[in-house]
Structure 1
């Protein structure tokens, strides 16, 4: 089904922002991008989804391998004991000996789900751990080369791709263009400057290969 995703602002990256813009998606591809009135008129039978804030390309997580292999992402049922935030460093080291295959695979899946909550659609590899490699493949997230990846911060990486101090163009892998795979996110902010300032925690929707894979409740 063809779907038109509309928002007050579309930030394609590499092209001018589109006020009251829209992105038309059919299957896993972007079929049109531009002012909402024009896109909607060209696709009168499309389902329309109206979102707040801005539509931007999906983000790239530079430190995905670290976050998936050196962190434990607690199950909500473990929150009373372990809390809700990823465990790394000494906390992860203490727990690592207790992780059987089932708990480890669950942690990796939850880590990937958390990345989707931050508008992430592309992950810097390579992923040598077979459990991680399999989970990434099944998730639909795109693995990309590690060229020019920034170093690991002293306190460890953050799930927010903006945490490494990059602007929007430096935080995405590919711009939004007609014909490209439909990987994008919606952030509940008014413009690009506000997005960079607020970070990816402002994400309300993530679309991966045309599929809505995360929506904030």
Structure 2
């Protein structure tokens, strides 16, 4: 089944399975694909983001369960705070699943990693829809779930054009300038392999 995703500017993508079948203006695509389901989102469509701190966020930090907030807070724990925790495979896997969801909620569709050596983390990531891409060495800087908060230029995944992979995000902003100012926390939806893997409630 075809789905047309459109933003407030009328830019739209036709998604078929895991691929972008067509791209253009909403009115033109609706006319060309009259049987497609249409999803209209507030804001702008962009390619999905790449988070360069994959290793640091996925297997070198613990993302507390909301039920642990009173004891551990809500921010990722690293260093001595992480070392003080009793981390078994189940806890690492659960942390990685929460990390992935938080990355998807920031429009991230790819995480750059040297390699994922923790098998519980690797399994959780591979089931999630978040893609992993290689990197050489450590990028430095302070890891953040928001790629716009990093000390490096923002990197995007696949382009939004016909026959490219359907990996993109929608941010509730007027344009790219406002997105850069307000950051990826403005994400309202993330699509990976053609599936909506995050949608803001």
Q: TM-score range by the shorter chain?
A: over 0.9
Indicate yes or no: 2:102 matched with 1:102.
no
- SS at 1:81 equivalent: helix
What corresponds to 2:132 in structure 1? 143
- 1-side partners of 2:138 and 2:26: how far apart? 37
Closer, same or farther: CA 166–178 of 1 in aligned 2, 3 Å: farther
- Separation (CA, whole Å) in 2 of partners of 1:150 and 1:175: 25
Q: Residue 160 of structure 1: which of 119, 138, 146 is its match?
A: 146
Aligned position for 1:200: 184
Q: Which residue of 1 aligns with 2:60?
A: 70
Q: What is the distance in 2 between the residues matched to 1:127 and 1:150?
A: 13
- Equivalent position SS for 2:74: coil
5+ residue gaps, structure 1, are: 10-19
8 Å CA contact 1:150–1:164 kept in 2: the answer is: no
Tell me the alpha carbon deviations over residues 63-101 of structure 1, each in whole angstroms, 9 at most, x when there is no partner.
111111111101111111111221122222222xx1222
1:54/1:190 contact within 8 Å kept: yes
TM-score, length-normalised on structure 2? 0.94
Q: What is the RMSD computed on CA atoms of the aligned residues?
A: 1.5
Residue 8 of structure 1: SS of its match in structure 2? coil
| Aligned twin of 1:116 | 104
The alpha-carbon deviation at position 142 of structure 1 amounts to 1.4
Instruction: Determine helix, strand or coil for the equivalent of 2:111.
Output: strand
Aligned residue in 1 for 2:79: 89
Q: How many residues align?
A: 200
Tell me, yes or no, if the aligned pair for 1:205 and 1:216 is still in contact at 8 Å.
Answer: yes
Q: 1:42 aligns with which of 32, 41, 58?
A: 32
Flag structure 2 segments of 5+ consecutive residues without an equivalent: none
Compute the displacement of 1:166 (Å). Answer: 4.7
Give the TM-score normalised by structure 1.
Answer: 0.87
CA separation of 1:82 and 1:145: change in aligned 2, threshold 3 A? same
Deviations 1:6-56 (A, max 9, x none): 1123xxxxxxxxxx1111101111011111111111111111001000000
